[in-house]
Amino acid sequence: MTPSHTPVLTQPVLDLFSPQEGTHLLDATVGLGGHAEMYLAAAADTQVLGLDIDDSALAQAKKRLQQYGSRVRLTAASYAYLDEVAGNETFDHILFDLGVGSHQLSDSERGISFRSTGPLAMKFSTVGQVQPKLPPSSLPSVKWLEQRLGYAPDAPELIAGIPEEELADILRQYGEERYARRIASALKRMSPNLPAAAVADEIIAAVPGRYEGGRIHPATRTFQALRIVVNRELESLEMGLPKAVSHLKTHGRLVVISFHSLEDRIVKRFLKETKSLTTLTKKPMVATQEEKARNPRSRSAKLRAAQKM
Ligand SMILES: C[S@@+](CC[C@H](N)C(=O)[O-])C[C@H]1O[C@@H](n2cnc3c(N)ncnc32)[C@H](O)[C@@H]1O
């Protein structure tokens, strides 16, 4: 089955960028190329440089955008290191559409979703293929583990390699998980090679029956926390945002779409504290009721935008 992903908040993104003939977009998270395609179709001779750390997503984007020929360049890289890809180039518009794409959640081999039959790897980049450079972890225990292993640990290596108390701290801090201690203890007792779906079952068994009143799957917060730490999501964002601004033209616009409060907090603070930016969104923009009904992933999306002075 060809993976798919419905891009969120497309109209606000288009309105904020208002692509004109010949304008350039840096799409820092091009994914399957949904937002990029919209930008390319909006005006003649617009151009896109697209980055992603998931090379299988890039392969899909390449197919989808091939009709635009040399107007599109796609590269496997993390936005944390976008200087290395963008060189001296500047852009009229820069987009970050953060987090995990539906194409990654629905890939049962990938071990990102708790329905996955694959091992709990949690890496955005496809295991065994291109492994783009990740920024150093901000967590001392993860840094220590990485030094010992000689590479960035995936989720099973992280669970096995750090003390239970620190694993519980990660679940609390990055998943806002109330039952962090119980879950950390269950994770430590598990076999490291369990498929993600079986890990999710262990988590269900470790928490009370009426977990959060049944509103979310009991593994949601744990999987989110592990994914954020394994992919260095927050460290990447902290590194990528100032780099993006340095590649923005004067009067150029930056749009960031985030999907959880930890990301949104970083974006909000960054826009406020960066002297060269004027914030265009006093409050974050969110999806309409119609979009939320059509695309459930848009329910947690928050869009913030700014213009370079
Ligand atoms: C929500 S999807 C983007 C979807 C895209 N806007 C579209 O319309 O198809 C987020 C993408 O960001 C990518 N990603 C996550 N962390 C990244 C990083 N540090 N650098 C570059 N891409 C990253 C993921 O691999 C994923 O494909």
Residues 16 and 90 in one domain: yes
Distance 31 CA to ligand 1 centre (A): 5
Residues 168 and 226 in one domain: yes
Q: Locate 45 and state its tokens.
A: 């001779």
The whole-angstrom distance between residue 281's C-alpha and the CA centroid of its chain comes to 21
Residues 145 and 205 in one domain: yes
- 109 lies in a domain? no
Residue span of the structural domain in which 143 resides: 136-230
In sequence order, what are the residues at sequence separation of 6 or more whose Cβ sits closer than 8 angstroms to the Cβ of residue 249? 90, 91, 92, 308
Total domain count, the chain: 2
Q: Is 1 helix (H, G, I), strand (E, B) or coil?
A: coil
Give pLDDT tens digits for 226-245: 999 999 999 999 999 999 99
In sequence order, what are the residues at sequence separation of 6 or more whose Cβ sits closer than 8 angstroms to the Cβ of residue 108? 115, 116, 117, 118
Q: Locate 167 and state its tokens.
A: 């694993």
The whole-angstrom distance between residue 308's C-alpha and the CA centroid of its chain comes to 24
Atom of ligand 1 nearest to the CA of 33: 9
Give pLDDT tens digits for 60-79: 999 999 999 999 999 999 99
Decide whether any atom of ligand 1 lies within 6 Å of the 35 Cβ: yes
Pocket test for ligand 1, best of 2, 49, 53 (most atoms within 8 A of CB): 53
Atom of ligand 1 nearest to the CA of 34: 8
- pTM (two decimals): 0.93
- 117 lies in a domain? no
Decide whether any atom of ligand 1 lies within 6 Å of the 53 Cβ: yes
Residues 88 and 144 in one domain: no
In terms of DSSP H, where are the helices of 54-193?
A: 55-64, 82-86, 102-105, 140-149, 155-161, 164-175, 180-189
Distance 221 CA to ligand 1 centre (A): 20
Give pLDDT tens digits for 167-181: 999 999 999 999 999
